[in-house]
A and B are shown apart, each in its own frame.
Chain A
Amino acid sequence: MKVVIIEDENLAAEKLERYLVKYDATTEVVTQQVSIEGAIHWFQNNEDGYDVVFMDIQLTDGLSFEIFHKIKINKPVIFTTAFDEYAIDAFKVNSVDYILKPITFTDVSNAMSKLKSMQDIFGFAEAMEEVEKMVEKKKLKDRFLVRLGNHIHSIKAEDITLFYAEGRTVYLVTTENKKYILDYKLEDLCELLDTSKFYRVNRTFIVNINTIQDVVVYSSNRLKITPKVRVEKEIIVSREKVSAFKKWFEGD
């Protein structure tokens, strides 16, 4: 079997080659390309000189999906990726195989076995497009686990009015004005939440756009937010965030 490896890390490429040969001694790596440009150039000149492509997603000059925009690859593609499990869902639903880095021999042998049995479904352009979209789309947290008595409940992000920090503890307040402790920092939540719905207005609060009842001008060019639930502290949009808050509040 003739294999093309598109990988910008030499050690990873060497390891993959070693495992491929270990799996099947007749395997031959015809080329190793380290960049998108190099890969496009090689595929243009060698349309049929290979059987399968092992492709790293993130190369030094961009995402390897760009290769599919420039040329058509009609051979099976197995992605090697260091993306987390969320992105991997994309590959699952589209029946394109993947190997999660760091590559292990078991992963390689499983992928090769799968390749043999499912060759006909690899390489569809539509599937590639779908994968690309899903990989680029950041997975957001839409539910939070909280304790109620000795039970754990799952709360939808849309049912959350706000998050706030008190000292080092972060609380979640629901639309029913119930308060729960979370094991996250506000900084982490900013990364995990849908930024079109949630906004960090100051060092203490992250508010949900749908649960804001009123916004009034406050002293020193700041804004005061009144949520639909009763909150002990005043929610003041800090001066440096007022402009960004207005843009966010206005929506698209």
Chain B
Amino acid sequence: MKKLFIHQPLFRLLSPVFSGVVVYLLILLLNNNVAQLQEEFLSEDLYVCIGLSYVVQEFSRTLLLIFKRFTKLNNLLFQIVISLGLSIAIVSVSIILYYKYAIGYSANNEDIIMFSSIFCVITLVYILLFISHDYLHKINSEKLQQEELIKQNIEDDFRQFKKGINPHLLFESFEALLILIHQNKEKTDEFIDHLATIYRYILSSKDRQLVEMKEEYINLVELEKLFNKLPYRAIQVEYTVISDFLLVPGSLLFIIELIVRKTIMSSSIQLRIDIIESEDMIHISYKTHDKINSKLTLKEFEELNRVYSIYSQQKISVEESDQKRIISFPKLTTK
């Protein structure tokens, strides 16, 4: 369905043959001369009809493409009238020339009218075929687009759902919990409290556009505590931000978790993450010790960048220097 069939080379080659034969038969019928078929079917007249069909169809096709290109001319009635008029002109001129030079006498008006009428019908059928198929093509394309949009929305929903649920963190925490529950009931309660607080924040903030940094930080502390209770994790977040500003909910948590997931961790070596501020940006810096098969790249911030682009012209940036990586994102303020 990518291309209308009237534009297919095979159709363009074969359909004039078919319509030419039909025109020829009609002319014989109108002239009450069907008996000629028994004498000689492949006469010169047949070839003329096929040739004329070819010219008329190709001309109509070109005209339709021109109409399609110029939207101002894209009026159905106008298209039909112009196409028919020009077809009549072409057919009439062709017949006059054929009669004069091939047969040797002038064409009479009856013959010209007869040929013009039949080719008018051929042109009309051709235009209607084109328009109906074009319309069908448009409807199908719209349906396909809608399907594609629905598919994209479902994928998007799934991604958002996954982002909200964060299965990686959830299952990792559950696994740690299964061990902890047999060892220390008190610590288990604390662990569940951290986990639940983080999830409550993530889920309750999904309908909010922006949150205050202070609120995000409170939940970051919970995340830090949770990570430090997970096996092979030791992180320390140094937070020195004092100004008030807004940010996309969960963005700081997302970046810290991303750093933790992309860094080779050990419970004996603490990962220190510094969160500092400049005039209009927040900077998160840490010593790089990337995992071998999963390095942190700017691509990871695509979705976050998309959301930030709604509120700021500044983008999230990742800079690396001297075994240190600095991730910066804009401070958002309302006017």
Contacts and interface: CB of A to CB of B under 8 A. Distances in A.
A150 B313 contact: yes
A44 to B, nearest CB: 34
Interface in B281-323: 307, 310-314
* Interface SS majority for chain B: helix
A214 interface: no
A152 B152 contact: no
B313 A102 contact: no
B333 interface: yes
A168 B210 contact: no
B312 A183 contact: no
Interface in A114-164: 141, 144-154
A107 B200 CA distance: 15
Contacts of B156: 168
B267 interface: no
A251 interface: no
Range for the number of chain B residues in contact with chain A: 20 to 34
A152 B307 CA distance: 13
A152 B333 contact: yes
Contacts of B270: none
B310 A102 contact: no
B94 to A, nearest CB: 43
A101 B203 CA distance: 13
* Interface SS majority for chain A: mixed
B192 interface: yes
Q: Which residue of A18, A104, A181 has the most chain B CB atoms within 10 A of its CB atom?
A: A104
Given A149-B313, A152-B334, A154-B334, A18 B307 contact: no
Interface string B174-218: 000000000000000100110011001000100101100000000
Interface of A: 15, 18, 84-85, 100-102, 104-105, 141, 144-154, 167-168, 181-183, 185, 188, 191-192
13 contacts: A102-B197, A104-B197, A105-B189, A148-B335, A149-B313, A150-B312, A150-B314, A151-B334, A151-B335, A152-B311, A168-B156, A183-B209, A183-B310
